[in-house]
Structure 1
Amino acid sequence: MLAAVLETQRDVLAMTCAGLSEAQMATPAVPPSTLTLGGLVGHMAEVERAWFRRVLAGEDVPMRWSRFPGDDFGFDGPADTAYDAWYEESARSREIVAAAPGLEATGTHPRRGPVSLRWILCHMIEEYARHNGHAEVLRAAIDGVPVTVDR
């Protein structure tokens, strides 16, 4: 159930960005904020990579854009590669979740210590839900097209 809810949140982000050009993905649409949809998608790629690959699976992979954990976590990453990175990281996250022995599987976060897959999934749902709200506002400011999500 948790994995399915997370997948729905990923779908909402994909639908929110659907049909936009690279230039639109790189547009800071709500001044004075510099946040872009591309930056937001890049952030979600970093978050997927951090929680599923680095924390849960213990993979020794560098972050894609962040210089140190928590600095900007991809918000300022290149918009032209953000969507592909997010797609790749989401796919790898799905593989890691599918291979986990159960929701009590744990990984170690450098500050929080041991965290379960259950906790990570709940955290990721919350992370997507928050940022999907931001994405919908950005999308509306870019082209006025409402995001339609079949819920």
Structure 2
Amino acid sequence: MTEQRARWTEATVYPDMWADPDDDPRNTEGPSPDGELATLQDYLTHYRLTLRMKCEGLDPAQLALRSVPPSTMSLLGLVRHLARAERDWRNWISEGDPLPKLYGARDADFDGAVGEQSVVDAAFRDLEREQAATDAALAEYADLGLRVGKEKIAVRELLVHRIEEYARHCGHADLLRERVDGRVGQ
């Protein structure tokens, strides 16, 4: 990499933040939610918003910009990967036949992340649809200790796994966004 991008943030209050607290949709006033399920859902929502924020304001080529060779990771690839993961998680809790792979062969979610507007639009539509479908499937289970699906995974375990997956990839998104245009922040 020969070009050194200047690090920057839109935040004016705290220089290590992505956005000012008053402009950050992840900030909520008041106490955290009551109860285990509400807390888990709150964390998941936070990380989902973070991923979207890291992608905002970029064109298709920037979203598809790869990290460093030989990695195929990009912000667009992360969006596609998480859409695929949401579908896979739904398969974990299903008793029926698994839904087909969203993007085909292994790593197609990253390999197919090319800088075209139609691919970007489809990726975000896929992510929204798959998140909503997995949320709806999990909403059927009030008992977080209930073991469901062919693998008998606990609902709690799946919720925690989703949070972990989004959190890990938000860390990747931090670095990818900085590579794209130098923007930094939590």
Instruction: Using structure 2 for the length normalisation, give the TM-score.
Output: 0.68
Q: Which runs of 5+ in 2 are unaligned?
A: 1-38
Asked if the contact 2:72–2:110 (Cα under 8 Å) also holds between the matched residues in 1, the reply is no
Identity %: 38
Name the counterpart of 2:60. Answer: 22
Distance in 1 between residues matched to 2:107 and 2:147, nearest whole Å: 26
Distance in 1 between residues matched to 2:143 and 2:57, nearest whole Å: 37
Where in structure 2 are the equivalents of 1:124-143 lying within 5 Å? Answer: 124-143=162-181
Which secondary structure state, in structure 2, belongs to the residue aligned with residue 74 of structure 1? helix
Distance in 1 between residues matched to 2:83 and 2:53, nearest whole Å: 16
Aligned residues: 141
Name the counterpart of 1:93. Answer: 134
Pick aligned residue for 1:104 from 124, 127, 145: 145
2:167 counterpart of 1:115: no
Name the counterpart of 2:93. Answer: 56
Name the counterpart of 2:16. Answer: none
Distance in 2 between residues matched to 1:58 and 1:18, nearest whole Å: 37
Asked if the contact 1:47–1:73 (Cα under 8 Å) also holds between the matched residues in 2, the reply is no
Show CA shifts across 1:103-150 (max 9, x none): 1233336xxx321110001111111111111111001110112245xx
Pick aligned residue for 2:110 from 72, 75, 83: 75
Which structure's CA Rg is the greater one?
Answer: 2
Q: Which runs of 5+ in 1 are unaligned?
A: none
C-alpha RMSD of the superposition: 2.0
Amino acid at match of 1:46: R
Asked if the contact 2:87–2:130 (Cα under 8 Å) also holds between the matched residues in 1, the reply is yes
